[in-house]
Structure 1
């Protein structure tokens, strides 16, 4: 039997709408409504895990899911940039932003590098690969990027070239140490007869 990991990105929040580094705020009303509409569209998982952030917990709840917060699946720690817009940071620290976006090992914000995030998620994937059945993970978009980068053996520099829209599904399935990717499926609203 193969192992299937279904990643669901969180619903929209004000920081996402303003291109601001996530600062712990809740999902917005539109995000809650869309997640509730999609609640019946996911296959029943054997287990549910989530990033330990408010928007992932709230998205899971709106989808009708409960599960364990998993620190290894936490979002990228952007240090002192948290809560600021990318434009504001780029205006104040253009060289730092350029370094951060081009060097996966760089962490000019004092937080975590993209490389460190990818390595942390890779360790979690190793433990997940050994299981069987279906795991659903409501996780931050950067965790989805890191999982895809690592599962496909791509260099961490690819990380920023992967877009993960809100409330989308990305699937990995694997057996014998190999992952296959199925990505970017929107959560479908079930038909009502």
Structure 2
């Protein structure tokens, strides 16, 4: 049996626009209309405020959207709430290490390698059927890189646009990827 997974990136927020490691603030759903899903689709979301708010802005009843911890964004430790540009100015070596080494976690949180492993474990354990998941952009990057069997270096080369979906179909070990479908 096949898994049909649709990963939806959250709507734009001030934090995303500022490249700030935070999920607070209202979402800007813009012209996206109500999301209509076929019967039988399991709906899950990152526990983040922006992912859950995106699901609500698209008309989903949050009582029917399961919170999935594996879809949480990378744990940023002491960098949480700070902007990338201010960190680059204050800690250039730490930021360079984080951007260049998937095993680095100079912020005291989760490395990008650990994020990818967490997302890969969740992805490979999905039960057959249709799943609609609201996930942080870094989680979507990790899922696509894993699905393609891409090297860790590809993580920063994947652009995940707000309110766009990536579709994965297949099962552990064999995935097909469809990129960039607008949501709503």
TM norm structure 1: 0.87
CA shift at 1:2, angstroms?
Answer: 2.2
> 2:105 is matched with which residue?
107
CA distance in 2, matches of 1:138, 1:97: 27
Match of 2:12 in 1: 12
Q: Which residue of 1 aligns with 2:44?
A: 49
SS at match of 1:104: coil
Contact 1:42–1:187 (Cα < 8 Å) also in 2: no
Alignment partners' CA distance in 2, 1:137 and 1:40: 13
Paired position in structure 1 for 2:65: 67
Give the conservation status (yes or no) of the 8 Å contact 1:45–1:136: no
SS at match of 1:116: helix
**Residue 40 of structure 1, aligned match among 30, 35, 43:** 35
On the 8 A contact 2:7/2:165 being kept in 1, the answer is: yes
Residue 41 of structure 1, CA deviation: 5.8
Structure 1 equivalent of residue 175 of structure 2: 179
Q: State whether residues 7 and 166 of structure 2, in contact with CA within 8 Å, keep that contact through their aligned partners in structure 1.
A: yes
Structure 2 unaligned blocks of 5 or more: none
Q: Is the 8 Å Cα contact of residues 147 and 173 (structure 2) preserved in structure 1?
A: no
* Offset from partner CA, 1:73-115 (integer Å, 9 cap, x none): 1111111111111110000111111110010000001110000
- TM-superposed deviation, 1:45: 5.5
In structure 1, C-alpha distance between the alignment counterparts of 2:173 and 2:181, rounded to whole Å: 24
Instruction: Give structure 1 regions of 4+ aligned residues with deviation exceeding 3 angstroms.
Output: 40-45
- Cα root mean square deviation, aligned: 1.7
Structure 2 Cα separation of the partners of residues 52 and 150 of structure 1: 22
Q: 1:170 to 1:152 in 2, by over 3 A?
A: same
How far does the alpha carbon of each residue in 1:47-75 deviate from its partner, in whole angstroms, 9 at most, with x for none? 00110111111111111223110111111
How far the C-alpha of 1:40 sits from its partner, in A, is 3.3
Contact 1:49 1:69 in 2 (8 A): yes
- Of 75, 78, 99, the residue aligned with 2:76 is 78
1:135 counterpart SS class: strand
Higher mean C-alpha displacement, 44-53 vs 116-125: 44-53
